[in-house]
Structure 1
Amino acid sequence: MKLPTKGMISHREALLKAEHSIAKIKETVSKDLSRQKYHFMAPAYWINDPNGLIFYKGEYHLFYQHYPYGSRWGAMHWGHAKSKDLIHWEHLPIALAPSEPYDLHDRGGCFSGCAVDDNGVLTLLYTGTILIEDGQVIQTQCLATSEDGITFEKFEGNPVIPGPPEDGSVDFRDPKVWKHGELWYMVVGSRKDNTGKALLYKSPDLRAWEYGGVLAESDGTMGYMWECPDFFPLGGRHVLMFSPMGMGNRTTIYLVGDMDYETGKFTWDTMGDIDHGYEYYAPQSFLDGKGRRVIIAWLNAWDWMPWFKDFGPTEKNHWCGAMSAPRTVELDTDGRLRFAPVEELKVLRREHVRLENTIISPGADVLPKYAASDCVEIIAEFQLAGCTAEEIGFVLRSSTDGTQRTMLVYHLPTNELRFDRNQSDGWSEGVPSVILERSGEESLKFHIFIDTCVVEVYTDHYRTVMTNNIYPDPGSIHMEVFSTGGQVTLSSIDIWKLCSAW
């Protein structure tokens, strides 16, 4: 195939140009009151998928899809940051920019991928996207390396996988690589005949790759394209995560099963949702220095959602997108997965409010006004034995007059949990919901994190998580616990105001 050459500049020139664009606007962006206080963001402009998550030489590295010239999606670069604790991040120079025939297309660029430690060399594998002369889009897999963990050189032999196999299609992207025994393995997301697939490759050196077949594919109910697949061992089994296109509001799926490296087949028996909210996409995992499997995702989703209007009102403020708080992944006793916020988030806790054995009645205000904030952590437990209420829950990020408010509502007769943001801000809409797996007499626990424009809700012993963006006015910071139709006992509630990580 003939690759385009028009407009090519060196990789170094492309990186310097991108850095200059960010430098011109980042101070203005930093003053925006809607900026997140502890969820990771780029210094300015657009970000989406997390890439290259890795614990490397004692530090956490986060790469991410980045367009450094505007707050809408464009030719993808790889932004880069590092941290010692997963909470406080140091921005580093942009790691990858479109500059070569295999990644130069202005509506493509350096797509998502991963990072590995190859005998001390930090190595990135990513999808290069090009548009050739006949108008056809080609997606290939490429490699770049760094000796210092900051400056990356693209491999002269790129692309290391020049195109999809017969089992795939032109949608062929988002490589995730791991080592098993003496070989490296790669899973790539693809599709064929409107069936989502995860394709398997293997290599002795990360450069010469042999196709190993279809690792797993949709049974007809799991979407027409599998984006950002991730595959890892956990608790004696294996997990395949991916973001399926064509499944409505189901943005992140996991499958638990067993891997046969002889046949290259993954056989699964358990399926679940990583998150039940509207904005949690493309989670990527890594194994950290403590032996934990940790995931981080993009706090947004693409435009096949029926409630899609745009990617958020922050676009006018020269930024768009953020990352979720890091979560651990654990295998539960019944084969399902549990997702809990990393313990490092506790470092953000400041002023603390605690109430115990509090009766919640319709119309009652029980939380002290000084607990209000746009940046809080809440741990609450409701005693449902003897409860007479029909619905219980929280009013979050409310204005003084109640015209702006976000409602987290648990309906006792059906075990349904709803996140109602129709009055959150005049922009957001939709009511994601999930049926909790619990008995009527069991106490109900919530662990909630609120930042300026995102709410992450954990419940069901961390087996159910719901993440949604909201964009209330900065002054809409009030919250309350409520019940309707009767009373409930709030066994305990702990509220911490959280400090900024920046």
Structure 2
Amino acid sequence: MTKLLMNEKIAKAQKEIDDKKKYVENGKMRQHYHLMPQCGWMNDPNGLIYFKGQYHVFYQTNPYSGFWDSMHWGHAVSKDLLHWEYLPLALAPSEVYDDFQKGGCFSGSAIEHDGKMYLFYTGTANHGHGNVQTQCLAISEDGIHFEKYTGNPLITVPEGIEPDSFRDPKVWKHEEKYYMVIGGSRNHRGLALIFESEDLYHWNYLNVLSESRGEWGFMWECPDFYPLGDKYVLTFSPMGSGDHTSAYLVGDFDYETGRFDSHVSGEMDWGFDYYAPQSIVTPDGRRLVISWANEWEWMPLFKDWGPTYQEGWCGFFNLIREVKLGNDGTLQFVPIEEMKNIREDGFCQEEMLITEDPKQLKAGDGISFEMKFVFDLKKTDADSIEMKFRCGDGKETCCIFDLKNGELSVDRQNSDGWSTGVSRSVLLVNDKSELDVHIFSDQSSLEIFTDQYRNNHSNNIFAGDQQNQLSISAHGGKAVIRNYESYKLKDCFRKE
């Protein structure tokens, strides 16, 4: 009965997608190389796994509207991390523990076991006494069709943890045991809990893996935990922590006690739109992260969800990034090498002098492009350098490298008539001979990487095709750019 009911729910939702996708794919704000839903709402990436020769990405989705509501799991696969094929929905709310209009099948992860794919997710329900979240399992032989485990839920809310703040299981294997980290809230402070199992079905609480002492918000969403080099990394999205969208901690971990001792903390991204990152290991051993290009704090809940909502969809993923551990313990988040495979219309210039007079820049069509260069700081004496993107019709997005005051800012106040805010981060250039910059623009997003990919800003901007001009200028002196290169980026969703 369980399988039959979920299949009915999936069939109904799939019909909704099939009826709307042709209309939605013609939307003016649709991305060219960022994964997005065929229609309806998308948020957190889930269940990232390499299974039977291809990458699987699942995602939170409401297929009925471009607005958050009862959560299903969407599903897409790829062989190259660039071109994606949409598969039928994997999960739909159908059981007493996950069938609730303002709940459903919340975020989780995937693991392979005995040739099968195991999806772990949070079931959210409400039986009249508030939302209750539990951890559940669904299994597939082929990685496409899933059946919920009849023994669900596997894990219920531990004592002392808020029942509506216990979610997003991430599972991995170490030696002969399986481990699961889950986000939670206790005494209005965020934390990550760790559980262990010998068979993936029976789980024992091990310990509090790590917790906020007041500095990291009241709830840790979408925690992820993995080894990197000789250290361990914990990432999470802290709720109620202001402009912090996705944090990382680096330190040491003891499997015997289940405790994580962090020594380094940092921001994965300083922009407004980088949330719920989840990692995957590639066949060649790279640790990649995928995240949702949005964030709850600034979104005008229950009001206007922006230009894409008007087109029948909302949400997409950020550029996929490789996580690397620096010598000082900080992390780098480097755009994947595969992005080079969609470059065309390349342009290079060895050196460029920047003055107060705005200089027009060439980068593909000015909409979907990649740009890469370094500022030669030995030859630069400007107080600040201003770059303007997606200019046209009186609109622009402004990025300022403030060398005098040590700040990088991205201003989208005048980007599109809807977006607001200025993202800021510290920019240290003392004793450096150069400052590296790497930029990716798509129809509705701008992602800026600098300082060896440790200082990143991801912001959504909903700019039209007529906004395709780019310029750069220096203030209080001159600036010199070296090794400038730019490319147009192909559309990964257009049928050739």
TM-score bucket of the superposed structures, by smaller chain? over 0.9
Letter of the 2:409 partner, please give it. R
The structure 2 residue matched to 1:77, chosen from 52, 72, 80, is 72
What residue in structure 2 maps to residue 14 of structure 1? Answer: 9
Matches within 5 A, 1:287-302: 287-302=281-296
Matched, 1:303 2:297: yes
What residue in structure 2 maps to residue 426 of structure 1? Answer: 417
Q: Please give the secondary structure, in 2, of the residue aligned with 1:199.
A: strand
* TM-score (structure 1 length as normaliser): 0.95
What is the CA-CA distance between 1:393 and the residue it aligns to? Answer: 3.4
Matched, 1:170 2:164: yes
Does 156-165 or 55-64 show the bigger shift? 156-165
* TM-score (structure 2 length as normaliser): 0.96
What residue in structure 1 maps to residue 25 of structure 2? Answer: 30
Matches within 5 A, 1:81-480: 81-132=76-127, 134-167=128-161, 169-303=163-297, 310-368=304-362, 371-399=364-392, 403-439=394-430, 441-480=432-471
Aligned residues: 493
Give, in whole Å, the separation in 2 of the partners of 1:491 and 1:322. Answer: 33
C-alpha deviations, 1:439-498, integer Å up to 9, x for none?
A: 255211110000001011111111111100001122101111221222111123111011
What is the CA-CA distance between 1:365 and the residue it aligns to? Answer: 2.4
Aligned-pair identity (%): 45
Does the CA contact (< 8 Å) of 1:248 and 1:305 recur in 2?
A: no
Give, in whole Å, the separation in 1 of the partners of 2:202 and 2:36. Answer: 35
Does the CA contact (< 8 Å) of 1:307 and 1:429 recur in 2?
A: no
Letter of the 1:487 partner, please give it. K
Does the CA contact (< 8 Å) of 2:325 and 2:332 recur in 1?
A: yes
Letter of the 2:456 partner, please give it. V
What residue in structure 2 maps to residue 498 of structure 1? Answer: 489
Q: Please give the secondary structure, in 2, of the residue aligned with 1:122.
A: strand
Q: Please give the secondary structure, in 2, of the residue aligned with 1:300.
A: coil
What is the CA-CA distance between 1:163 and the residue it aligns to? Answer: 2.7
Root-mean-square deviation (CA, aligned residues, Å) is: 1.9
Give, in whole Å, the separation in 2 of the partners of 1:366 and 1:51. Answer: 41
What is the CA-CA distance between 1:192 and the residue it aligns to? Answer: 1.0
What is the CA-CA distance between 1:372 and the residue it aligns to? Answer: 3.7
Give, in whole Å, the separation in 2 of the partners of 1:41 and 1:246. Answer: 26
What residue in structure 1 maps to residue 36 of structure 2? Answer: 41
Give, in whole Å, the separation in 2 of the partners of 1:308 and 1:336. Answer: 37
Letter of the 2:328 partner, please give it. D
Does the CA contact (< 8 Å) of 2:160 and 2:186 recur in 1?
A: no
What is the CA-CA distance between 1:60 and the residue it aligns to? Answer: 0.5
Letter of the 1:224 partner, please give it. F
Does the CA contact (< 8 Å) of 2:242 and 2:297 recur in 1?
A: no
CA separation of 1:359 and 1:307: change in aligned 2, threshold 3 A: farther
Q: Unmatched 5+ residue regions in structure 1?
A: none
Does the CA contact (< 8 Å) of 1:377 and 1:496 recur in 2?
A: yes
Give, in whole Å, the separation in 2 of the partners of 1:433 and 1:169. Answer: 35
C-alpha deviations, 1:2-61, integer Å up to 9, x for none?
A: xxx9xx970110000010001111000111121000000111110000000111122110
CA separation of 1:183 and 1:165: change in aligned 2, threshold 3 A: farther
Does 467-476 or 433-442 show the bigger shift? 433-442
Q: Please give the secondary structure, in 2, of the residue aligned with 1:474.
A: coil
Letter of the 2:452 partner, please give it. H
Give, in whole Å, the separation in 2 of the partners of 1:147 and 1:114. Answer: 16
Q: Please give the secondary structure, in 1, of the residue aligned with 2:452.
A: helix
Q: Unmatched 5+ residue regions in structure 2?
A: none
